[in-house]
């Protein structure tokens, strides 16, 4: 059965752009005219994704550009660094890419973040298009214009806000994902229930098995609804000066897990899933949610195939790493916490309480 192409607009004035969700979009040459045209098109991907999908994308965009090049980076979060970024710049300069060039980010969140960062800084800014091929990237990282590379002292600490020209989420690319990557992507789907939409949380409880089985209609709705919810937030707070911070539910704990273990040991979504469990416990300790609610959402996270117990790092190490989080203010740790009516906020919490929550979630 053919899944209709769905469009979700991101409303940002003259930086507005559409997000297209559907099947067989990589091969639909007609839709790629929305990406623009020019001198050089650079398809930035990695050694895992490029052999699967780069040829289809190149065939669809070739008529729009004088020259199409491919840039294949090593795969993995551990390569989201300045060495990989310079590989992009070296290739663009060697191809004599000018300001009329367009970069295409073909891959997951790592590729999307680095390609966006490269586009925002190459010749002080060229256009780019997000072509996310993982569930996590389709529902989260490709939407909203955050770009970054990692630093040894902190995840995503060096980056820009820079919006793409277009986002194309081809659901067929999810067919080649390892099951672990599907679960990792579901972390960024699940988060929208507790922070924004209780009915979506109910829907996820009913449809989690279908999502894990990659049912096309279930995935299409989950991707669309996640993007719609994120679009509401991004359109009102593009640069995360206020409400957009709630999208980081579980991320403060999760980034500490990623940094503490070493990038790539746990997938980003796995760390976020466990981080949401920690944030739920913190919300309970702050009197915002009941134990039953903590158990309910934790059960859903576990059903998604995500870890609910943290790695055995000392609580003091968690605190040290979390002080590098972008939401910290003057050394005060701040966390996204939730209430049972699908409301979220950013609040401070004493170190002793946070350490106690971490210890409980790592037992």
Residues 17, 43: contact at Cβ < 8 Å? no
**pLDDT value, residue 62:** 95
Q: What is the pLDDT along the chain (363 residues), one digit of tens a residue?
A: 456 899 999 999 999 999 999 999 999 999 999 998 889 999 999 999 999 999 999 999 999 999 999 999 999 899 999 999 999 999 999 999 999 999 999 999 999 999 999 999 999 999 999 999 999 999 999 999 999 999 988 888 899 999 999 999 999 999 999 999 999 999 999 999 999 999 999 999 999 999 999 999 999 999 999 999 999 999 888 888 789 999 999 999 999 999 999 988 999 999 999 999 999 999 999 999 999 999 999 999 999 999 999 998 999 999 999 988 766 666 688 999 999 999 999 999 999 999 999 999 998
Pairing of strands 127-132, 166-170: parallel
Which overall architecture, per CATH, does domain 6-176 show?
3-Layer(aba) Sandwich (3.40)
Q: Which of 150, 248, 258, 284 is catalytic?
A: 248
Q: Which of 181, 188, 238, 270 is catalytic?
A: 188
CB atoms closer than 10 angstroms to residue 342: 16
The question of whether 175 is a catalytic residue gets the answer: no
Which overall architecture, per CATH, does domain 179-361 show?
Up-down Bundle (1.20)
**pLDDT value, residue 327:** 66
Residues 4, 24: contact at Cβ < 8 Å? no
CB atoms closer than 10 angstroms to residue 13: 7
Q: Which of 191, 225, 255, 334 is catalytic?
A: 255
Alpha helices in 306-347 (DSSP H): 315-322
The question of whether 180 is a catalytic residue gets the answer: no
- CA separation for the pair 312, 310 (Å, rounded): 6
Q: Which of 244, 281, 326, 334 is catalytic?
A: 244
Q: Which of 4, 124, 341, 363 is catalytic?
A: 124
- CA separation for the pair 159, 114 (Å, rounded): 9
The question of whether 251 is a catalytic residue gets the answer: yes
Alpha helices in 99-215 (DSSP H): 109-121, 135-136, 179-190, 192-196, 198-212
The question of whether 281 is a catalytic residue gets the answer: no
Residue extents of the structural domains in the chain: 6-176, 179-361
Q: Which of 80, 191, 230, 334 is catalytic?
A: 230
- CA separation for the pair 287, 35 (Å, rounded): 48
**pLDDT value, residue 263:** 87
DSSP code for 140: I
**pLDDT value, residue 2:** 54
* Cβ-proximal residues to 234 (8 Å cutoff; 6+ apart), any chain: 10, 12, 143, 144, 145, 244
The question of whether 244 is a catalytic residue gets the answer: yes
Note the pTM of the prediction, 2 decimals. 0.92
DSSP assignment string, 32-69: GGGG--EEEEEEEEETTTHHHHHHHHHHHHGGGEEEEE
Residues 74, 13: contact at Cβ < 8 Å? no
Q: Which of 80, 146, 191, 225 is catalytic?
A: 146
CB atoms closer than 10 angstroms to residue 83: 11
Q: Is it true that 6-176 and 179-361 share their CATH fold?
A: no
- CA separation for the pair 168, 178 (Å, rounded): 21
**pLDDT value, residue 326:** 65
The question of whether 146 is a catalytic residue gets the answer: yes
């Amino acid at each position: 059965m053919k899944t209709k192409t769905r469009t979700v607009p991101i409303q940002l004035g003259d930086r507005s752009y559409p997000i297209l969700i559907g099947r067989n979009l990589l091969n639909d040459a007609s839709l790629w005219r929305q990406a623009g045209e020019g001198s050089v098109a650079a398809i930035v991907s990695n050694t895992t994704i490029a052999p699967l999908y780069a040829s289809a994308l190149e065939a669809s965009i070739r008529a729009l550009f004088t020259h199409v090049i491919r840039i294949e980076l090593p795969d993995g979060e551990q390569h989201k660094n300045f060495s990989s970024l310079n590989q992009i710049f070296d290739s663009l300069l060697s191809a004599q890419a000018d300001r009329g060039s367009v970069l295409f980010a073909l891959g997951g969140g790592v590729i999307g973040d680095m390609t966006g960062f490269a586009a925002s800084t190459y010749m002080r800014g060229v256009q780019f298009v997000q072509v996310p091929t993982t569930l996590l990237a389709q529902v989260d990282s490709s939407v909203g214009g955050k770009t970054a590379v990692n630093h040894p002292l902190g995840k995503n600490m060096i980056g820009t806000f820079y919006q793409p020209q277009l986002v194309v989420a081809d659901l067929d690319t999810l067919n080649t994902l390892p099951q672990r990557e599907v679960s990792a992507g579901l972390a960024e789907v699940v988060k929208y229930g507790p922070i924004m939409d209780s009915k979506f949380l109910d829907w996820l409880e009913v449809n989690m098995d279908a999502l894990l089985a990659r049912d096309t209609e279930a995935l299409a709705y989950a991707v669309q609804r996640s993007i719609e919810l994120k679009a509401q937030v991004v359109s009102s707070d593009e640069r995360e000066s206020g409400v957009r911070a709630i999208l980081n539910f579980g991320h403060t704990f999760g980034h500490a897990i990623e940094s503490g273990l070493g990038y790539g040991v746990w997938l980003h979504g796995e760390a976020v899933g466990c981080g949401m469990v920690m944030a739920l416990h913190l919300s309970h300790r702050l009197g915002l949610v009941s134990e039953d609610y903590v158990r309910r959402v934790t059960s859903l996270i576990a059903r998604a195939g995500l870890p609910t117990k943290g790695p055995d790092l000392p609580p003091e190490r968690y605190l040290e790493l979390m002080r590098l989080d972008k939401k910290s203010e003057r050394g005060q740790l701040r966390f996204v916490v939730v209430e049972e009516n699908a409301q979220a906020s950013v609040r401070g919490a004493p170190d002793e309480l946070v350490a106690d929550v971490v210890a409980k979630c790592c037992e």
